[in-house]
Structure 1
Amino acid sequence: MITYILATCIPGNEKEVIQKIKELPNIVEVNGIMGKYDIFVKIQADEVMKVDFTIGKLRGVPHITSTVSIPVLYGQGGTIDDEK
């Protein structure tokens, strides 16, 4: 299962937040971005509960003010179809 997270954080803390996120389990990718959100995160795990656990840990990272979770739907097209 793959889930993308868009996170916002307190300005000036992006580098610290990104470093903390990199330490969490099931994190595949973390990038600082510009716009409404500050950080893009890709989570991948073989069980929904593992993704849920990682999201919970991510939301507890200091200086994160909000998150949006975007779970991938298999069978809807795109390159992810090749995995299932």
Structure 2
Amino acid sequence: MAFAYILIKCKTSFENQIIEKLLQIKEVKDVKGIFGEYDIFVKLETDSQQKIEEIITKKIRKIPYITTTNSLSPTTSDDQI
């Protein structure tokens, strides 16, 4: 299993619309609106790092009103912690 956490910045007042779109991606396991430098937190889970890269570049970054993404890949999976 491969995991990634994505921090997203978006245009003001489009957070809920973006969250709805993110929840339509089957590999998205959790989405939260957050306060601070970023607006949305996303957890991805899939079978390979290559698939994560495809989801980020071909699906997430294509969602309208997303301005910036920051991808974080953990050094261990959740079940190893």
> Amino acid of the residue matched to residue 61 of structure 1?
I
Matches of 1:50 and 1:4, distance apart in 2: 14
Matches of 2:75 and 2:26, distance apart in 1: 21
- Give TM-score, length-normalised by structure 1: 0.86
- Output the aligned Cα RMSD: 1.5
Show the 5 A alignment for 1:10-25. Answer: 10-25=11-26
Structure showing greater relative contact order (alpha-carbon pairs closer than 8 Å, 6 or more residues apart): 2
Which has the higher Rg, Structure 1 or Structure 2? Answer: 1
> Amino acid of the residue matched to residue 44 of structure 1?
E
Query: Percent of aligned positions with the same letter in both sequences?
Result: 34
Q: What do residues 37-82 of structure 1 show as CA deviations (whole Å, max 9, x unaligned)? A: 000000011111211121111011000000000001128xxx5416
4+ residue segments displaced more than 3 Å: none
Q: CA 1:36–1:68 in 2, change beyond 3 Å: closer, same or farther?
A: same
Q: Which SS does the other structure have where 2:29 is aligned? A: strand
> Amino acid of the residue matched to residue 80 of structure 2?
D
Whether the aligned pair in 2 keeps the contact of 1:4 and 1:69 (CA below 8 Å) is: yes
Unaligned runs of 5+ in 1: none
Unaligned runs of 5+ in 2: none
Matches of 2:18 and 2:55, distance apart in 1: 15
Residue 60 of structure 2 is aligned to residue 58 of structure 1: yes
May I ask how many residue pairs the two structures share in their alignment? Answer: 79
